[in-house]
């Protein structure tokens, strides 16, 4: 079982000192993780890291870290641009996201390998990643895409509930409160966020597919795409994932 490390170099940006220690896998894996919201990617990411020892490089984590960073460190140049855009209520541009990753290219060359999560999200980003990897003399082993039928994803995501008072999250099937509609922690009323209503989820999935399908096609043409059905329970999905990764490089099998 490998540990996740603090990923400070990835989260804070270039110049931070990555203090990851612990055993290095027999082979560093260079993987991209793809899949729509609600497909269970986060759970699979944790399992892949534990089993194959790659660093979990999530662009979502970079943004979350920047939002609550209290270290007093100035944000990296690309993060400063991203934060300014968010402050104006704008989306962070494709180009800025690419620059965020480019600043952190050292993480892609790390001896622990990487599992890239949340990037690339568009075809432009996929092209850019290719260039960034070439600049650090690394190659992708595979892009792993998880998929599940839309009704299943909608069922999973629309079961989410949030406490009005303390914002604790619940799920009607997977993490139900002790008393229906009431928060275990504070007794507050639980509600369904507009984002988690079926119609909104359907819209999100359509938007995701529109930008992601060209990325899938791009990796398919390069022979790097591996597709994994993620409707089953997380253990079964991971068994499939493990087999897929081991097949990429039989020599590295332990």
236: Cβ–Cβ under 8 A, 6 or more apart, which residues? Answer: none
φ, ψ of residue 44 to 5 degrees: the values are -65, -40
- Taking CB under 5 A as the binding criterion, the range among 1-9, 10-18, 111-119, 163-171 that sits at the site for Zn ion is 163-171
List 163, 190, 237, 245, residue binding Zn ion (CB under 5 A): 163
CA gyration radius, the chain: 19
Burial class (CB in 10 A: 0-12, 13-18, 19+), 97: buried
162 binding Zn ion? (CB under 5 A) = no
- Cα–Cα distance, 215 to 52 (Å, whole number): 24
User: Tokens 């039989």 — which residue?
Assistant: 250
183 binding Zn ion? (CB under 5 A) = yes
- Taking CB under 5 A as the binding criterion, the range among 18-26, 31-39, 62-70, 155-163 that sits at the site for Zn ion is 155-163
φ, ψ of residue 225 to 5 degrees: the values are -80, 130
Give min distance, CB of 223 to Zn ion, in A: 49
List 186, 207, 236, 243, residue binding Zn ion (CB under 5 A): 186
185 binding Zn ion? (CB under 5 A) = yes
Give min distance, CB of 165 to Zn ion, in A: 5
179 binding Zn ion? (CB under 5 A) = no
Active-site residue list: 41, 121, 160, 193, 204
- Taking CB under 5 A as the binding criterion, the range among 23-31, 72-80, 135-143, 180-188 that sits at the site for Zn ion is 180-188
- Give how far Cα 132 sits from Cα of 40, 98, 203, 225, Å: 28, 9, 32, 19
Interface ranges with Zn ion (CB under 5 A): 163, 165-166, 168, 183, 185-186, 188
């Amino acid at each position: 079982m490998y540990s996740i490390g603090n990923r400070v170099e990835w989260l804070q940006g270039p110049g931070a000192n990555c203090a990851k220690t612990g055993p290095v896998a027999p082979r560093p894996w260079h993987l991209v993780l793809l899949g729509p919201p609600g497909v269970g990617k986060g759970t699979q990411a944790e399992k892949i890291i534990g089993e194959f020892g790659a660093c979990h490089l999530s662009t979502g984590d970079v943004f979350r870290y920047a939002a609550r960073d209290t270290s007093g460190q100035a944000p990296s140049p690309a993060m400063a641009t991203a934060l300014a855009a968010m402050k104006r209520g704008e989306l962070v541009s494709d180009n800025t996201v690419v620059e965020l990753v480019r600043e952190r290219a050292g993480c892609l060359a790390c001896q622990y390998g990487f599992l890239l999560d949340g990037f690339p999200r568009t075809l432009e980003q996929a092209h850019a990643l290719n260039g960034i990897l070439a600049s650090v003399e690394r190659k992708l082993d595979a892009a792993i895409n998880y998929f599940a039928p839309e009704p299943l994803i909608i069922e999973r995501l629309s079961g989410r509930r949030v406490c009005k008072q303390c914002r604790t999250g619940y799920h009607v099937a997977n993490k139900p409160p002790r008393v229906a509609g009431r928060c275990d922690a504070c007794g507050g009323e639980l509600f369904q966020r507009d984002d988690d209503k079926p119609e909104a989820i359907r819209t999100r999935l359509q938007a995701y597919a529109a930008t992601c399908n060209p990325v899938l096609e791009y990796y398919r043409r390069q022979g790097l795409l591996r597709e994994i059905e993620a409707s089953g329970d997380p253990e079964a999905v991971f068994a499939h994932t493990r087999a897929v990764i081991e097949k990429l490089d039989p020599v590295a099998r332990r």
